[in-house]
Amino acid sequence: MLCLVSLAALAGRTSVHAQKPASPAPSCPKEMAHVGDYCIDRWEAHMVDVKTGKPLSPFYAPTPALMKKAWNVWELDRHHVGDAAARAMPLPPIPAWQQTAEFSPKAVSAPGRVPQGYLSQHLAMRACEAAGKRLCTESEWVRACRGRQNRQFPYGAAFQRRQCNVYRFYHPAFILHGDSSIGHRDPRLNLVKAQGKDPVLRLTAATETCVSDWGDEGALYDMVGNLDEWVADESGVFVGGFYARASTKGCESKVSGHRPSYYDYSLGTRCCRDFVVEKKKPPVSR
């Protein structure tokens, strides 16, 4: 009898050890959507300081030197361009701490935020890396934009005006400077309101009709319009179109030929990262 009990106990222990560990669970952070073998930010990036987490002004390039340069230049030049209303428009304020401290950008993805403009590709890459992510490749970005139904536009197969914040008839440089081709680093540009009420640059996810659908894996907002977005291409490529770009190409909209160091008010980004598999501990033997 004792022998039989021992064999039974041994069999029980053997069956526990023979159980296979649970399959690893795939994981993307909650602010990202799962697309194929990578994760991508659901919203355009805004910036915080990598050390303190304090938000950076989205109306200036997110480095101390470039921020100060823009302020010094445009605090004077704004009085000499545009009509009386434009000349009277003040520069957007800079948080007091940001005026005196050293800071470095970290990309954050969240709804209801002013997306960061004035990004060079170098700054976009640096901000994504500070967040533990990276710039998306062009092919990753386009695939994500087209959604699970593989459409040229987030909302369908054909261009429709006003579905995304693109191809607007109000160019902020023309409104402020009387010329759409000049002054593209003026910190006031993304604060312009069309017809005095509708902001040319909208908060992330404010355009509810511009959503790239990935079902349970997450919805992606503003991949067409709002801001152009840098991708990882050494030749300098940004995609998607910004609010005043006269583009009807949707997810295929692309601009190349700018150096990675180039930046202006219309340039933002969103980040990607490789798909990470969470390792779960095997069940404990008893």
Q: pLDDT per residue over 90-117, tens digit each? A: 999 999 999 999 999 999 999 999 999 9
What beta strand segments (E) does the chain contain? 25-27, 32-35, 38-41, 45-49, 105-109, 134-135, 193-194, 198-199, 211-213, 219-221, 228-231, 237-239, 254-256, 267-268, 271-274, 276-278
Nearest to 48 by CA among 2, 125, 112, 109: 109
List the CATH number of the domain containing 31. 3.90.1580
Indicate the pLDDT class of residue 280, thresholds 50, 70 and 90.
Answer: low
Q: What is residue 283's predicted lDDT score, i.e. its pLDDT?
A: 60
CA–CA dist 205, 210 (Å, integer): 8
Residue 256 belongs to a domain: yes
Q: What is the pLDDT of residues 50-82, one digit of tens each?
A: 999 999 999 999 999 999 999 999 999 999 999
Indicate the pLDDT class of residue 221, thresholds 50, 70 and 90.
Answer: very high
Indicate the pLDDT class of residue 23, thresholds 50, 70 and 90.
Answer: very low
The pTM is what?
0.87
CA–CA dist 145, 124 (Å, integer): 19
Does pLDDT of 18 surpass 50? no
Q: What is the pLDDT of residues 146-174, one digit of tens each?
A: 999 999 999 999 999 999 999 999 899 99
Residue 127 belongs to a domain: yes
Residue 198 belongs to a domain: yes
Overall domain count for the chain: 1
Does pLDDT of 10 surpass 70? no
What beta strand segments (E) does 98-247 contain? 105-109, 134-135, 193-194, 198-199, 211-213, 219-221, 228-231, 237-239
Q: What is the mean pLDDT of the chain?
A: 91
Q: What is residue 27's predicted lDDT score, i.e. its pLDDT?
A: 84
Residue 19 belongs to a domain: no
Please give the residue range of the domain that contains residue 196: 25-277
Q: What is residue 195's predicted lDDT score, i.e. its pLDDT?
A: 82
Q: Name the phi and psi angles at 107, rounded to 5.
A: -75, 135
Residue 8 belongs to a domain: no
Q: What is the pLDDT of residues 226-242, one digit of tens each?
A: 999 999 999 999 999 99
